[in-house]
Amino acid sequence: MLPLEDIRKRAMTWLGNEFNEETRKEVRDMLEKDEKKLVDAFYQDLEFGTGGLRGVMGAGTNRMNIYTMGMATQGLSNYIIKQCGTKGIRVAIAHDCRNNSRYFAERAADIFSANGFEVFLVESLRPTPLLSFAIRYHKCHSGIVITASHNPPEYNGYKAYWNDGGQVVAPHDKGIIEEVRKIKSVKEIKSGGKQENIRIIGSETDNAFLQEVLKMSLNPGIIRQYSDIGIVFTPIHGSGGTLVPPALKLFGFTNIISVPEQDIPDGNFPTVKSPNPEEPDAMKLAIRKAVDTSAELVLATDPDADRLGIACKNKKGEFVLLNGNQTGALLIYYILSQFREKNKYKGNEYIIKTIVTTDLMDRIAEKNRVECFNVLTGFKFFAELIRDLEGKKKYIGGGEESYGFLPGDYVRDKDAVASCALVAEIAAWAKSRGKTLYELLIDIYLEYGLFREKLVNIVRKGKEGADEIKAMMVSYRNNPPLAINNSKVVKIDDYETLVSTDCLTGKKTGINLLKSDVLQFFLEDGSKISVRPSGTEPKIKFYFSVNTRLESADKFEETNKLLDERIEGIIKDMKLT
């Protein structure tokens, strides 16, 4: 880490006239009153990684602000010019509900315009999948979305996309990072672009997107029969409110119930502790509304509407939350079963999941004779594979455990808009068979095995936290466990070295993926533990997956409890509690 005196010198450069008064005042206050805040704000540059930028908003080189965001945009512009020349360049920009998101988006539009680009800027907040679609629809060379996904309110971020509508991957990711790092001063940021080069996009693009979403429907006739299913939807103050209700209506659903307090876009997310549909607290208001209105299904999206949360009724009539693995399994099961029933298979279909997502999806694909590709965490790898296989194989769905799913290839990022509509359709389809969504999930477990997963996040903020997370990964690599929860470790996959080790024979084989800081431990009893530092948040993630045969629907709760106990035993043995 830089010495304090160097950090102070670095901060003082932010007192120049090229910075606005609000920024200068914040820096002066840190210099005079708050040494810890000063260090965190200036000890490093906010890194433009393969996923773009994400950080706490405020003044400083390690903060998300119009200057760090502006330098990233100028670096991206320079890279686009190197790759595509200077004539006819088009970029698209979208943003979510977060504080400063519109401000950042308009600043980025000005910078792109000043670089001679034609800019397609959303008229107001829009879901991330709309940005991915807009890039392809408007034949753009690149695009960005201003969002920090489901991070706390103090965060914002910036994700960069290429002309296929997917987040940037090799070689563009490293090329853009290199160009961004070359920008050493805010004085290098171009500004004062021509307003006539900035085109505001709205209903036309929205409608074109929604027509593609509608094509994902597999049983419109059944929806007509059960159009009045009570569906509570909440965008949790985010961008999902712009397109999810229209998508549900377009599918044919008529009884869509809102949560008025959460319909209002607000970057402070006043009704929740965290705007994350993975968190039970974020779903409380919607579930209460569903109980009050006798609704059958609860759907929720995160601020940029690329992730969805679901609550449905169990056998006791109580609302329970589904996790991302369960949602992904339901969607994949439905898509594959309907392709089979309707003779839609041509023999070249495939699905995609990540290495930390439930292996239940692999089993469903295998039984349906559909190829299942496992990729590293991040939908940019889905987009890359879809692009590489275009014209050779047909992508029909895929998802990840972190509540993201994409049912078709019309966009190249996870899409909670279409996923919400398709989940509602599955509920209608299940009802036509005399079942609830919950009972359908149990049927899947009866056929393919009961899988239970859990994610444990250990948060470690700041420089000290980052060092602690690195040390944990080093320790697991240098001193891997021989057994966990009284079950032998039989295989270790290390995605940093790309080596898979059979712990019983010592045999090592290669892993055919890109390098990533991920470790996986496979146990003799079929359990799997995956460990990886988050690429966007100050945390290390532990993914636990266990499974067993489910003998009957009546034994679901009992068997589920046994699997939960196995996971808790693993967590305790790894000293994570």
Active site residues: 149
HEC-encoded secondary structure of 482-506: CEECCEEEEEEEECCCCEEEECCCC
Which of 549, 548, 539, 545 is closest to 520 using CA atoms? 545
Dist. CA 324–CA 361, nearest whole Å = 12
Could you check whether the bond before residue 171 is cis, i.e. omega within 30 degrees of 0? Answer: yes
Q: Are 219 and 429 in contact (CB under 8 A)?
A: yes
Largest Cα–Cα distance of the chain, in whole Å?
72
- By CB atoms closer than 10 A (0-12, 13-18, 19+), residue 170 is exposed
Distance CA 234, CA 289 (A): 10
Of the candidates 87, 98, 65, 91, the one whose C-alpha atom is nearest the C-alpha of residue 76 is 91
CB of 406 closer than 8 Å to CB of 544: no
Decide: 454 and 567 in contact? Cβ < 8 Å: yes
Contact 375, 518 (CB under 8 A): no
Distance, CA of 568 to CA of 329 (rounded, Å) = 23
Exposure string for 26-46, b = 16+ CB within 10 A, e = fewer: bbeebbeeeeeebbbbbbbeb
Residue 442 in 3-state DSSP?
Answer: helix
Residue for token pair 């999806």: 361
Residues near 358 by beta carbon (within 8 Å), at least 6 away in sequence: 325, 328, 329, 401, 451, 453, 545
List Cβ neighbours of 74 (8 Å cut-off, separation of 6 or more).
Answer: 111, 115, 183, 188, 189, 190
The SS3 call for residue 100 is coil
